[in-house]
A and B are shown apart, each in its own frame.
Chain A
Amino acid sequence: MEGIFSLDFLLTVVQEAFRLKIIIFSALGVFTGVTVGAIPGIAGDVAIALLLPFIYNLQPVAALGLLLGIYKGSMFGGAISAITFGVPGTGGAVVTVEDGYPAKKNGYPKKAMLTALFSSVTGDIVSTVILVFLALPLAMVALKFGPKEYFSLYVFAILMISLLLQGGMKKGLMAAAIGLLLGCIGMDPITGTTRLTFGIRHLRGGVPLIPLLIGMFAISELMTQYLKAWYRNRSKYIKESELSESSSKLSKESGYNPSKDIMSFKVYLSTLKATFIGSFMGTFIGALPGAGSSLAAFVSYGLAKRLSLHPEQFGKGSLEGVAAPEAGNSATVGSSLIPLITFGIPGSATAALIGAAFMMMGMQPGPLMMQDNMPAMYTFFVVILYASIMNLFIGYFLIPIYAKFSMIKPRFIYPLLFILAIFGTYASRNSIIDIWLLLAAGLLGTLLKKAKYPLGPLVLAFIIGPGAERSLRQALLIGQGEWSSLLKSPIAIGFYAVTVVTIILITKAKFQEKFS
């Protein structure tokens, strides 16, 4: 360890990390990730998958820089789409929509996007610092998570989110159960038995996430707003619509006032608590293999709401409600590399890609990786850090452009959003059936929205349901079918205890609210 503090070592690392090729590819990756991730309809994972052929045709070092850049950029890019259009690009961005989209409707999209950017970068840097200095201890903690522990974490997350988001508790739980049921469609995660496919071969792999997400958010929003856009223009009662056609930047229809949409250091400080909650929660959850950035975003949001001084603002455009999930999901980028580097176990699908790139460079992910490749690893850490800084500058540069897009008149935006949703869904699996699923999800989302069912718990349960089921059944297989074996873990007991306490506190608060 003394070697890493010697001047020679530091100079080698800095020289390698700041090679022009790596800088250029990292910057290109961030720019591409942010831009593609910000296109509503193109999910973050789709961005990476579409750019994969380019990545692997490069030299491994440049490929790593590009991949890291895209990974980080697309995390933040998803927030732009969520805030500007109310269309989440990834599961984690669903929570950003909860407060980000109302923020835009309330007239401060730029402030929301900048909050998302700053908290994203903060989360990223926190998890990278923890990766560098605390990788092994955190990995040892992560290894303690087995089936029982994962199941308890998923139960905690689903219950917390169902109870905390806008809408009644019962409707939240019903929405979560609908999400669980939708997640059961297809092959079961343990035996591969097909369920609920009704003979449709295409559903054997389950309902794909992208059509569900985009359908429930984008298509349902379009279904409700499309006619309004037509009606607004037609109505004799809204004479301003004639004026707004010729007005320059300020649209009176949307009531946008740029002077109210200015970000300041004070605003950033006001969201700092939520940012740090997200950063640490995201770092921890990112280090758990397979847990996912969506779970990190949801749990960060839930915790931030519980610990906020103004929880009543959440769901109505609270900037804390934007900062927490964004910090949470970005913090998973660095920490998902922890199990990869320490034990050769990729923490996420993108971490697996990064692992493959390492292998192509002759570096075997695993316990000996650090010790056998110290200069290369520290070079990599430096690149991760400056990619975060690049994310900050590039994001800062692109935000004003996206803020302008958010104010384009609805009659142009809605048809275009629809087309992008169709193209984005088709791009992911080249399947017409996915398009029909997209429309069906849109109808479902609309019907549920009309009756005020929150969509967040549904999406979270859909995403983590298969993992929760797998953990439950694995735990029961290990425990020979005994339900009591689920409690034979102090970590699991801890999560269940926190869940029970949270339910009691929330229920108490809701009763008090109802009868006050």
Chain B
Amino acid sequence: MRMNHKFLILFNVILLLVFVSISSLATQYPEEKAIRIISPTGAGGSNDIVSRLVTSSAQQIVGQRMDAIAMPGAGGQEAVHYVMNQPSDGYTFLITDYGCLITPALREELGYDLSDWKPIIQITEYIPTIFVREDSPIKDANDWIAKAKAEPNKFSIGHGTNLCPPHIGLIMIERATGMENAWVPTSGGSECLAFVLGDHVDIGASIPTTIASSANAGLVRALGLTSAERSKFLPDTPTFKELGYDVVSTSWLMIFAYKDVPEDRIEFLEDKLIEALKTDGAVSMAKKLNIELFLQGREESQKIYNRTVEDLTSLFADLNMLKK
């Protein structure tokens, strides 16, 4: 028995050495290359749904398989770092709003510069929307502002995660109006809506697609939007600009390439994606999904992106939230 055992161990060690010595012949398994759009939020969420709209509309036109992959975690940084670590061959892209890309990078060192990311196209816009329960004692936006100014922190406001676009919109409103409310971060738009409907918070800050169905059913009432123009999902809701407050704060949803992705590849995708999202099929699917398409090409998207970086840098500097 002992002899057999010794022989066995020796045999296994030799086998190991043989394989290790020819390991230099290893080749990467050839993989059918699909274009992957990585979303930093969970499957079924708004980013993920837009991402699926893009991949299903664009596959035929781009002429290649396209996969929408949700990779939540670490406040979006899982997805961001995943895309960063992929080869720069133009097959892996990030779809995100500024909340998962710009905001965290302004607050801590994350291993990338904001200039490393190149927007390819903008697809839609998220508009921070302030809303209350239908039976809330707050009549309208002006009523809210007056009451909140008279009694700071009287009202509790639920919003998504800390410093997400609706929260930033809320901060901008407070700065422009001089009021103070108690912020209550939640796990996202759904929890925020649940808290408002259940009367656990007085007010909510979310985006139109999250509250549209409840608004249409008469369960909630939108007080105001922080966009330049009204949303077609909430046509009766005024913007804060209309109400006389200089607040315009929206979040775009863009597809990004990380640095070193070849220019011709980005150009190719820009053309094909815009073409795909203008087709009747894409437009009707977007309507079904309550997505208002707001298409912009590379150049315009880059300008918008740069402006957002500047605006957020200035805001965080004022709030003493920039990284040291």
* A-to-B contact residues, CB < 8 Å: 49, 52-53, 56, 143-148, 186-187, 189-192, 194, 201, 204-206, 208, 289-290, 339, 343-346, 349, 351-356, 359-362, 364-369, 429, 470, 474, 477-478, 480
Do B74 and A205 touch (CB < 8 A)? yes
Q: Contacts A204-B74, A289-B194, A470-B186 given; 16 further ones with Cβ under 8 A?
A: A52-B43, A143-B194, A146-B200, A189-B185, A201-B81, A206-B73, A289-B190, A344-B193, A344-B214, A352-B42, A356-B44, A356-B49, A359-B288, A366-B217, A367-B214, A478-B182
B242 within 8 Å of A (CB atoms)? no
Do A191 and B162 touch (CB < 8 A)? yes
Q: Which of B27-48 contact A (CB under 8 A)?
A: 42-45, 48
C-beta contact mask, B183-195 vs A, less than 8 Å → 1, else 0? 1111100110111
CA distance A359 to B286 in the complex (A): 10
CA distance A205 to B69 in the complex (A): 18
Do B185 and A353 touch (CB < 8 A)? no
Cβ distance A292 to chain B, nearest Cβ, rounded Å: 12
Do A187 and B153 touch (CB < 8 A)? no
Cβ distance B16 to chain A, nearest Cβ, rounded Å: 16
Cβ distance A46 to chain B, nearest Cβ, rounded Å: 13
Cβ distance B319 to chain A, nearest Cβ, rounded Å: 13
C-beta contact mask, B166-197 vs A, less than 8 Å → 1, else 0? 00000000000000001111110011011101
Q: Which residues of A contact B297 (CB under 8 A)?
A: none
Q: Which residues of B contact A478 (CB under 8 A)?
A: 156, 182, 184, 200-201
Q: Which residues of A contact B49 (CB under 8 A)?
A: 356, 359
* B-to-A contact residues, CB < 8 Å: 42-45, 48-49, 52, 56, 67-70, 73-75, 77-78, 81, 104, 108, 111, 153, 156, 161-163, 182-187, 190-191, 193-195, 197-201, 210, 212-214, 216-217, 219, 285, 288-290
Nearest B residue (CB) for A356? B44
With A190-B185, A477-B182 already in contact, the answer to whether A144 and B198 are too (CB < 8 A) is yes
CA distance A429 to B210 in the complex (A): 29
Do A367 and B213 touch (CB < 8 A)? yes
CA distance A206 to B77 in the complex (A): 12
Do B44 and A192 touch (CB < 8 A)? no
Nearest A residue (CB) for B164? A192
Q: Which of B56, B199, B290 contacts A359 (CB 8 A)?
A: B290
| 9 A-B pairs with least C-beta separation | A366-B213, A352-B44, A146-B200, A205-B74, A367-B217, A143-B198, A205-B73, A356-B44, A204-B74
Q: Which residues of B contact A356 (CB under 8 A)?
A: 43-44, 48-49, 52
Cβ distance B45 to chain A, nearest Cβ, rounded Å: 7
Q: Which of B43, B73, B111, B201 contacts A353 (CB 8 A)?
A: B43
Q: Show 30 residue pairs from A and B whose CB-CB distance is below 8 angstroms, ordered by the A residue.
A: A52-B43, A53-B69, A56-B52, A56-B68, A146-B199, A147-B184, A187-B75, A189-B185, A189-B187, A204-B77, A205-B73, A206-B73, A208-B73, A343-B193, A344-B213, A345-B193, A346-B190, A349-B43, A353-B44, A355-B44, A359-B49, A360-B52, A364-B290, A366-B212, A366-B214, A366-B217, A470-B186, A470-B187, A477-B156, A477-B182
Do B198 and A145 touch (CB < 8 A)? yes
Q: Which residues of A contact B69 (CB under 8 A)?
A: 53
Do A290 and B187 touch (CB < 8 A)? yes
Nearest A residue (CB) for B186? A474
Q: Which residues of B contact A343 (CB under 8 A)?
A: 193-194, 197, 214, 219
CA distance A364 to B288 in the complex (A): 8
Do B44 and A349 touch (CB < 8 A)? yes
Do B219 and A367 touch (CB < 8 A)? yes
CA distance A206 to B67 in the complex (A): 26
Cβ distance B276 to chain A, nearest Cβ, rounded Å: 16
Nearest B residue (CB) for A359? B289
Cβ distance A452 to chain B, nearest Cβ, rounded Å: 34
Q: Which of A345, A360, A366, A477 contacts B289 (CB 8 A)?
A: A360
Cβ distance A238 to chain B, nearest Cβ, rounded Å: 14
Do A346 and B74 touch (CB < 8 A)? no
CA distance A349 to B45 in the complex (A): 9
Q: Which of A146, A147, A201, A346 contacts B111 (CB 8 A)?
A: A201
CA distance A190 to B184 in the complex (A): 8
CA distance A147 to B149 in the complex (A): 26
Max chain B CB contacts within 10 Å: which of A190, A352, A362, A480?
A352
Nearest B residue (CB) for A357? B44
Max chain A CB contacts within 10 Å: which of B52, B74, B290?
B74
With A143-B194, A345-B194, A359-B288 already in contact, the answer to whether A187 and B214 are too (CB < 8 A) is no
Do B67 and A53 touch (CB < 8 A)? yes
Q: Which residues of B contact A143 (CB under 8 A)?
A: 194, 197-198
Q: Which residues of A contact B108 (CB under 8 A)?
A: 194
Nearest A residue (CB) for B185? A190
Cβ distance A361 to chain B, nearest Cβ, rounded Å: 8
CA distance A368 to B216 in the complex (A): 8
Cβ distance A9 to chain B, nearest Cβ, rounded Å: 23
